[in-house]
């Protein structure tokens, strides 16, 4: 119940941003919360059969909404479905599905806070860079539109051809993950060389951000954490660690990440000693990211990280 209440409170804030009223007394539009208000997941245009799900969600009836903005910049009538996001996330932002007459046209990210605006703007830069790279294994989304509307960053991405109904519900073959991580590691945004042993990484190479494509390539989205200058193998460790977190508490997952580092990084030509150092660097870098974000989803590092690395200072 508390999660639903928090989501609905944030949803009210989001809908006010996306569908503002342009004048007092304007007639509101009506949306539906699906599957219902006690389990809010999506907000969709109201249909007649939604009456069985409960009362609708009134939204502003102004003439300048996210739908009219997208319609104007894309040159065709657009309607959006709003995903109800968890409120306790460092990179929280409204995510929309955008539809035109032919169906799903893309996904839209809205930068509604200083941090979210920076992430959305940066992802647009990364996707522009990737569009000029001859990638053979990795398939990122196409950037369809990036601009500013009412002080918000708006980024629209092409939908990727996911074959599974649930992203992350099917294991991607390990060789494909390795090939994709290796290709990402070789990306140099401006052609510059990094230091010896340094690489690029996607930054959030998790099971829910990747999927095997029908053509044998790897579909990869959410590039807002892409960075260069890290040890080779960070993406492989990040993927393993977040799969482990689905089955075990953070301290155990962190120990597993260190224990399995040698095997995980062997396909990258990294020896066991260096792999263990890389795993420690990765876990410390992740904790530092959480600290900068002001959000610790794994709990305090003193609980899940320090007991593991305090006696491994020689590896740092």
- Supply the pLDDT for residue 281: 95
| Confidence bin at 248 (pLDDT 50/70/90) | very high
- Supply the pLDDT for residue 71: 97
| Confidence bin at 8 (pLDDT 50/70/90) | confident
Q: What is the pLDDT of residues 192-218, one digit of tens each?
A: 665 556 899 999 999 999 999 999 999
Q: How far apart are CA 180 and CA 287, in angstroms?
A: 25
Q: Write the CA distances from 289 to 60, 107, 158, 280, integer angstroms.
A: 37, 26, 28, 14
Residue 35 pLDDT more than 80? no
- Supply the pLDDT for residue 3: 67
| Confidence bin at 54 (pLDDT 50/70/90) | low
Residue 1 pLDDT more than 80? no
Q: Which of 94, 95, 111 is nearest to 159 (CA)?
A: 95
Q: Which of 173, 186, 185, 187 is nearest to 218 (CA)?
A: 173
- Supply the pLDDT for residue 299: 94
Q: What is the pLDDT of residues 120-131, one digit of tens each?
A: 999 999 999 999
Residue 24 pLDDT more than 90? no
Q: What is the pLDDT of residues 160-182, one digit of tens each?
A: 988 765 655 568 999 999 999 99
Greater model confidence, 59 or 307? 307
What does the block give as tokens for 209? Answer: 């951000």
| Least trusted range by pLDDT, from 61-75, 223-237, 274-288 | 61-75
Mean pLDDT of 260-279: 96
Q: Which of 267, 282, 245 is nearest to 173 (CA)?
A: 267
Average of per-residue pLDDT values in the chain: 87
Q: Which of 141, 210, 135, 139 is nearest to 171 (CA)?
A: 210
Per DSSP, the three-state class of 91 is: coil
| Least trusted range by pLDDT, from 57-61, 97-101, 118-122 | 57-61
Q: What is the pLDDT of residues 299-308, one digit of tens each?
A: 999 999 999 9
Residue 268 pLDDT more than 60? yes
* List of residues 6+ apart from 299 with CB closer than 8 A: 250
Residue 49 pLDDT more than 60? no
284 neighbors 277 (Cβ within 8 angstroms): no
Question: Residue with structure tokens 């509307």?
Answer: 149
Mean pLDDT of 243-260: 96
Question: Residue with structure tokens 């944030």?
Answer: 10
């Amino acid at each position: 119940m508390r999660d639903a209440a928090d989501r609905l409170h944030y949803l009210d804030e989001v809908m006010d941003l996306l569908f503002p009223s342009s004048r007092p007394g304007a007639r509101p539009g009506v949306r539906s919360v699906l599957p219902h208000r006690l389990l809010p997941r999506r907000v969709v245009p109201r249909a007649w059969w939604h009456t069985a799900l409960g009362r609708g969600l009134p939204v502003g009836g102004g003439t300048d909404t996210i739908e009219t903005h997208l319609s104007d910049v894309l040159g065709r009538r657009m309607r959006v479905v709003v995903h109800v996001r968890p409120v306790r996330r460092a990179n929280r932002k409204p995510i929309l599905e955008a539809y035109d007459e032919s169906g799903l046209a893309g996904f839209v990210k809205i930068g509604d806070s200083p941090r979210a605006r920076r992430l959305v703007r940066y992802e647009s830069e990364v996707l522009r860079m990737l569009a000029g790279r001859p990638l053979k294994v990795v398939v990122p989304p196409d950037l369809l539109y990036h601009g500013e509307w009412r002080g918000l960053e708006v980024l629209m991405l092409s939908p990727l051809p996911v074959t599974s109904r649930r992203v992350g519900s099917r294991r991607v073959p390990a060789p494909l993950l390795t090939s994709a991580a290796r290709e990402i590691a070789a990306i140099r945004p401006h052609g510059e060389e990094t230091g010896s042993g340094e690489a690029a990484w996607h930054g959030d190479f998790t099971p829910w951000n990747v999927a095997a494509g029908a053509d044998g390539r790897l579909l990869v989205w959410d590039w807002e954490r892409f960075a260069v200058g890290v040890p080779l193998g960070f993406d492989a460790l990040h993927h393993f660690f977040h799969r482990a977190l689905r089955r075990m508490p953070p301290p155990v997952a962190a120990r597993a990440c260190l224990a399995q580092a040698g095997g995980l990084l062997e396909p990258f030509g990294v020896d066991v000693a260096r792999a263990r150092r890389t795993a420690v660097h990765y876990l410390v870098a992740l904790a530092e990211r959480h600290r900068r974000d002001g959000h610790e989803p794994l709990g305090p590092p003193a609980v899940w990280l320090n007991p593991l690395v305090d006696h491994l200072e020689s590896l740092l």
